[in-house]
Amino acid sequence: MSATNRNEDGGSYRLAAARELDRVEKDDAFVGFARRGRGGDPAFERSVTDVVAGVTRLRRRLDFLIDSLYRGDPDGLESGVRTVLRIGLYELLNTRTPAHAAINEAVETVRVYVHPRVTGLVNGILRSASRRMDDLPTPDTGDRVRDLGLLYSHPDWIVRRWIERYGEEAAVRLMEHDNRRPRHGVHVRGDGTAVLDALRSEGVAWEESPLVADFIRVDSVQPLVRSGLLRRGDVRIQDEAAAMVVRVLDPQDGERILDLCAAPGGKTLLAAETAPRARVTAADLHAGRLDLVRTSAERAKLENVDLRVMDARTPDEELTGVFDRVLVDAPCSGLGVLSRRADLRWRRSEEDIADLVALQDAIIDGAARCVAPGGLLVYATCTLEPEENERRVEAFLDRNDGFVRESCAPFIPDRLVDAEGDYLSLPFETGMDGAYAARLRRRVDAAES
Ligand SMILES: C[S@@+](CC[C@H](N)C(=O)[O-])C[C@H]1O[C@@H](n2cnc3c(N)ncnc32)[C@H](O)[C@@H]1O
């Protein structure tokens, strides 16, 4: 057993993960925020985080298996026992932990976490799963959407939408993408030698981005944190799909650029760096989140970024008609980044989309007022849902004849351009996060709205 399996008190990372999972469920806390800033052994913390995120993503599938393999009434299973079973099954099915170790650790965890009397139950269910690895129970409810939702651990409403839009085969590939541990995009600034040395020294796999220069994909960012490269601003963590939005924006030196929903600042910083003699105003509704932009800009030694707390629906009067380029990276359902945000699929409901649409419309209208005649408005999201993407753009163009849609094709690879000329990253095709962006040009002769 590796030293990192246990913390200083002798508790295993499975026990810490069980506590974390139950706390997240009880407090309705966000997965991922829970253990931030705890200190402790980084490898131990990473194991806890991995298990918590993995179990959260696969929860529906794991519960289906537990309910199928348990001989009693599944509703009668104590919640702590179910949590440990979820962890044990997750390790059996989705990690390289040897079966005997996954089972023994689950038995030891439940002995401490719940009671010695339930060790036999946990042992029995996990052994049965391990014996049937090639022949695990499969859902057969008579409802194809529900069966796929149980098998691929997504809510039915998302499965239904994606099958209708992409067909079953692509919908399954999309769900498989969501269920994988995400890889991280890293923007390497300057000489990358130290970055590659840090990755090699800890045996972390990396590959060059096939789509964006100076970007690599890594399995873990820990070596970059530990070596101080992240703190010093030598690297920045950013998915290539987000970087592509800045390509669509195409910032130029000498321009005034406004990023209206800027925090935590990934796109602001890349824009400011791409055009170092542009002036970039980063605005966000939340002052606390804007502080994240400030810290990152300072770290990256970028002096061309101004900050402004502002509601994008009602931009400050003096910004009317001022900017050459305005970026709206709108609040959205986030259904393009479900692998990265482990609990999001369980938090979202279809009703959220209707609420978001109203906010998105109000934000694009506010943004449009800040664009100078002849200037550019880029509307972007990290969702795949048409109501939040192309339909928002079409509704905006119906309300505003002072703007026309332009193709994104000159700025990004052809395979990322959809039939309308907008940028669309479908994770099952690109391997990147899901993302969308459209370019909207304000006519030179457009009247002030
Ligand atoms: C998708 S995130 C932006 C991510 C950011 N562009 C980046 O690349 O790091 C959306 C942001 O919009 C902000 N937001 C939400 N409602 C807003 C509003 N009415 N006005 C301005 N910002 C808003 C949120 O605080 C959040 O930071």
Task: Please give the number of the atom of ligand 1 that sits closest to the Cα of 264.
Answer: 9
Task: Please give the number of the atom of ligand 1 that sits closest to the Cα of 327.
Answer: 6
CA distance 157 to 149: 9
Query: Sign (positive/negative) of CA torsion 420, 423, 426, 431?
Result: positive
Q: Is 311 in the pocket of ligand 1 (CB under 6 A)?
A: yes
**Which of the 8 DSSP states describes residue 12?**
B
- Residue 307 has a CB neighbour count (10 Å cut-off) of 20
**Which of the 8 DSSP states describes residue 10?**
S
Tell me, what's the pLDDT at 1? 37
- pLDDT for 2 beyond 70: no
Interhelix angle 156-166/168-179, rounded to 10 degrees, is 130
Query: Beta strand 371-381 with 323-329: parallel, antiparallel or unpaired?
Result: parallel
**Which band of pLDDT confidence, cut at 50, 70 and 90, is reported for residue 35?**
low
Task: Please give the number of the atom of ligand 1 that sits closest to the Cα of 312.
Answer: 20
Q: Is 267 in the pocket of ligand 1 (CB under 6 A)?
A: yes
What domains can be seen in the chain, in order of their start residue?
3-135 (1.10.940.10), 144-179 (no CATH), 184-237 (3.30.70), 240-442 (3.40.50.150)
Tell me, what's the pLDDT at 9? 52
**Which band of pLDDT confidence, cut at 50, 70 and 90, is reported for residue 312?**
very high
CA distance 294 to 306: 9
What proportions of the chain, in percent to the nearest 5, are helix, strand and coil? 50, 15, 35
**Which band of pLDDT confidence, cut at 50, 70 and 90, is reported for residue 191?**
confident
Percentage of residues of the chain with pLDDT beyond 70: 95
Q: What average pLDDT does this structure show over 365-384?
A: 98
Residue 444 tokens read as 């030179």
Catalytic residue, chosen from 261, 332, 370, 382, is 382
Identify the residue whose C-alpha is closest to ligand 1 atom 15: 331
